[in-house]
Amino acid sequence: MASPSQLLLQRFSRHRMAFASATLLVILVVLTAMAPLFERVLAVSSSEVDLFNRFAAPNIRNLLGTDELGRDLLLRLLYGGQISLFVGITAALIASTMGTAIGLLAGYVGGRLDGFLMRLTDGVIALPLLPLLIVLAALDLSKLGLPDTLVNSENVSFYRIILIVSLAGWTTTARLVRASTLSLREQDFVLAARAQGCSDLRIMMRHILPNLTSPVIVATSLSVGNIILLESVLSFLGLGIQPPTPSWGNLLTNAQELIWESPELAFYPGILIFLTVIAFNFVGDGLQDALNPRTGKHVSSTT
């Protein structure tokens, strides 16, 4: 007999694309984490401007060549990857925490609160996402009464983009979690917990939340891809991560103007976004199959 987690791993690795994608993601994370090491070994810089070495062809030191300011492209891609992956994963986690809290509360408490929270979710889903995110990204933070030290600090564009893109991702999780909570709260073990005198908070946190793990994991892994796409779009438009800090999105901003001189500058960041997003989507798909063996393709394949 295999343990549940072994079974899970078995089912996941049977989904070949998901397994290959998970491997690719691990490699990407390790490579981007090793950026400082590459910087030292290759003796090139991701930030130092070298105007005598602009648009260098790939060579032994600049493995992918240099950009319009003579900075090493490979290193900028790796450092950009650190930012893009971190923003994507963090925002997805924040979004699914928000979604889980809202869905759990709505599903467990029910009644008016449920009605209100779900109408709110419906309302947010029915909004034109991208234009509104652009407005939020363009806001003048000092008009919000935030202290100047915070507004002018270098990291503000970083925190702001994480917050903004996580606002986009919580609705799916909230709906999924609510649906699962509705059926879980009618189960006997919840009744047993209530009979023992557990408080509502304890029932939600200790008895229902652990059973929500699989829908939340699936929703989160499926939303990371979307969130990375949103971050790259906003950064591309100049509203996300601000240069000189690189992100895969903002590396493409200049590339559009330089497309005649140096098309490869536009190629690499995009292909990395593409690979990362497709990998997260495959992993999400694989997790969905592995965690809910009764839904999805297995039902239809047996009929």
Contact set with another protein (CB under 8 A): 17, 119, 122-123, 125-128, 130-132, 134-136, 138-140, 143-144, 225, 229, 232-233, 236-237, 252, 255-256, 259-260, 263, 266-267, 269-270, 273-274, 277-278, 281-282, 285, 297, 299-301, 303
Distance (Å, whole) CA 27 – CA 21: 10
Residue closer to another protein (CB basis): 75 or 137: 137
CB of 263 to another protein, least distance (A): 5
Residue closer to another protein (CB basis): 89 or 237: 237
Q: In one letter, which amino acid is 25?
A: L
CB of 100 to another protein, least distance (A): 24
CB of 272 to another protein, least distance (A): 10
CB of 9 to another protein, least distance (A): 22
Distance (Å, whole) CA 269 – CA 28: 13
CB of 280 to another protein, least distance (A): 8
Q: What is the token pair recorded at 101?
A: 């809290």
Residue corresponding to tokens 């799916």: 172
Would you give the distance in Å from CA 37 to the centre of its chain? 26
Distance (Å, whole) CA 301 – CA 303: 6
Q: What residues are paired with 66 via a beta bridge?
A: 72
Residue 51 DSSP code: G
3-state secondary structure of 72: strand
Residue closer to another protein (CB basis): 116 or 189: 116
Residue closer to another protein (CB basis): 53 or 220: 220
CA atoms within 13 A on the CB side of 172: 18
Residue closer to another protein (CB basis): 43 or 126: 126
User: Cβ(96)–Cβ(165) under 8 Å?
Assistant: no
For the chain, the residue count is 303
Residue closer to another protein (CB basis): 101 or 237: 237
CB of 93 to another protein, least distance (A): 20
